[in-house]
């Protein structure tokens, strides 16, 4: 890149997006760089990590073809702070110079020849509504483990066959979401495992682009590329065997409870105020309602009653309040259904208005 002139707001958004794919502590200094390439009237910004790479394309007011490498996070912070006026970039000797209104910054040029080759984009296998995808990823990824010592538990499984199915599981809960998409290739039986944190980050960043393209080499699915709105993010897949999650939920239930999601959420939040860390709350479910109770040290305790519609047997069980609240928030419906086989087996939360399900394991209580 020898010269480029473009809109500062667009540059700030693109640079921030690409900087998110640059490692905070790169294994080698060149991986902390952001590649700037001008060609055919467009500026392409690229960042690369071994697990994630990102890029964005911008239209130029004017410019001359070329390529250079600058410190990525610093470049993103600078352009993010510039006034929203046209900004010019130019290479002057060993520096890149940014000018915008009365501001002028210089950045060192990094050795572009040391920057790794960016991965080739695999073939697009389908498209999906970006906002719907972002919402479903957020509801599913919350169930992935934060402990990456068992890598497959820190992933979101993406099943491409039929509906787009997203699955995450840790040792205590399971979330499954489904949404319609438009396959453009034969994806029968195809699935990939993606790091939950990475796929959640990219879904948030691309949720506004309208249509999102998914690209993957089905013969050797080493990475998945998500692109839309002039931006893309490539995420390396995780190797391993995913938990056979379809066998976890019971096939029959002795109790089903329909309850206001807001009412149950409020009751659990209030009762949890007196519960000690890692102390469950108890749900006593009957035709008379749900009695939500809990207690902590120094004699503190609380009980709250919530109206319910119960089908089947009365049941009492204990659950981790944070896990239950996560599920209630994720269901995103006015009424939630709790399906229970017995007090010691998984509780399945869902709603007739959505195919999303959230499963939480009861806590074995001493009471």
The strand pair at 191-195 and 155-159 is best described as: antiparallel
Give the three-class secondary structure for 273: coil
Residue-level pLDDT at 367? 47
Which of the listed residues 63, 91, 114 is the one where a domain comes to its end? Answer: 114
Is residue 148 located within the same domain as residue 91?
no
Mean pLDDT in the chain?
92
Residues 337 and 298 both lie in one domain: yes
Do 129 and 105 lie in a common domain? no
**Would residue 236 count as lying in a domain?**
yes
- Whether residue 46 lies inside any domain: the answer is yes
* Residue 119 resides in a domain: no
Number of domains within the chain: 3
- Note whether 140 and 90 are same-domain residues: no
CA 226, 232, 237 angle in degrees (round to 5)? 45
Can you give the pTM of this predicted structure?
0.89
Question: What confidence tens digit (pLDDT) does each residue in 123-155 have?
Answer: 999 999 999 999 999 999 999 999 888 999 999
End-of-domain residue from the set 188, 216, 246: 246
Residue indicated by tokens 């060993």 = 94
Q: Which pLDDT tens digit goes with each residue over 181-192? A: 999 999 999 999
Reply yes or no on whether the pLDDT at 366 is more than 60.
no
Whether 42 and 95 share a structural domain = yes
Chain centroid to CA 19: 17
What does the pLDDT read at residue 184?
94
Residues 31 and 142 in one domain: no
The answer to whether position 74 is within a domain reads yes
In tens, the pLDDT along 155-186 reads 999 999 989 999 999 999 999 999 999 999 99
Pick the closest to residue 108 from 55, 29, 52 (CA basis). 29
Domain of 162, CATH number, reads 3.10.150.10
Which residues are bridge partners to 91 per DSSP? Answer: 96
- Statement to judge: residues 347 and 274 lie in one domain: yes
Shared domain check, 283 and 186: no
Out of 27-31, 98-102, 118-122, 332-336, which region has the weakest mean confidence (pLDDT)?
A: 118-122
Whether residues 153 and 183 fall in one domain: yes
Q: Which domain holds residue 170?
A: 124-246
Q: For residue range 203-251, list pLDDT tens digits in order.
A: 999 999 999 999 999 888 889 999 999 999 999 999 999 999 999 999 9
Cα Rg, the chain, nearest whole Å: 25
Same-domain status, 130 and 67: no
Region 336-346: mean pLDDT is 95
Both 91 and 198 in a single domain? no
Distance CA 73, CA 71 (A): 6
> How far is Cα 289 from Cα 304, in angstroms, rounded to an integer?
10
Domain assignment present for residue 365? The answer is no
């Amino acid at each position: 890149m020898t010269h480029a002139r473009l809109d500062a707001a667009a540059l700030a958004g693109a640079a921030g997006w690409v900087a998110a794919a640059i490692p905070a502590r790169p294994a080698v200094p060149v991986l902390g760089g952001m590649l700037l390439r001008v060609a055919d009237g467009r500026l392409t910004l690229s960042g690369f990590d071994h697990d994630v790479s990102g890029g964005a394309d911008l239209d130029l007011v004017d410019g001359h073809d070329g390529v250079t490498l600058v410190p990525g996070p610093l470049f993103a912070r600078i352009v993010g702070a510039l006034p929203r006026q046209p900004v010019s970039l130019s290479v002057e000797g060993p520096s890149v110079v940014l000018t915008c209104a009365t501001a002028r910054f210089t950045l060192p040029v990094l050795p572009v020849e040391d920057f790794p080759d960016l991965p080739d984009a695999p073939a697009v296998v389908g498209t999906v509504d970006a906002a719907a995808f972002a919402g479903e990823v957020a509801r599913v990824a919350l169930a992935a483990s934060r402990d990456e010592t068992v890598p497959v538990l820190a992933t979101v499984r993406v099943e491409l066959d039929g509906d787009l199915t997203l699955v995450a599981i840790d040792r205590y809960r399971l979330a499954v979401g489904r949404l319609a998409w438009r396959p453009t290739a034969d994806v029968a039986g195809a699935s990939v495992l993606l790091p939950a944190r990475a796929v959640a980050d990219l879904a948030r960043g691309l949720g506004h682009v309208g249509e999102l393209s998914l690209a993957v080499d089905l013969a050797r699915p080493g990475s998945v590329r998500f692109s839309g709105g002039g931006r893309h993010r490539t995420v390396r897949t995780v190797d391993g065997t995913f938990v056979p999650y379809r066998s976890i939920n019971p096939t029959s239930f002795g109790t089903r409870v329909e309850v206001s999601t807001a009412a149950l959420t409020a009751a659990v939040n209030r009762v949890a105020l007196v519960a000690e860390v890692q102390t469950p709350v108890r749900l006593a479910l009957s035709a008379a309602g749900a009695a939500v109770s809990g207690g902590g040290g120094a004699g503190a305790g609380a009980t709250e009653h919530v109206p319910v519609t119960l089908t089947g047997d009365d049941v009492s069980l204990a659950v981790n309040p944070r896990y239950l609240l996560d599920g209630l928030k994720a269901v995103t419906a006015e009424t939630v259904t709790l399906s229970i086989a017995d007090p010691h087996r998984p509780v399945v939360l869902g709603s007739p208005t959505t195919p999303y399900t959230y499963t939480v394991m009861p806590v074995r209580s001493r009471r």
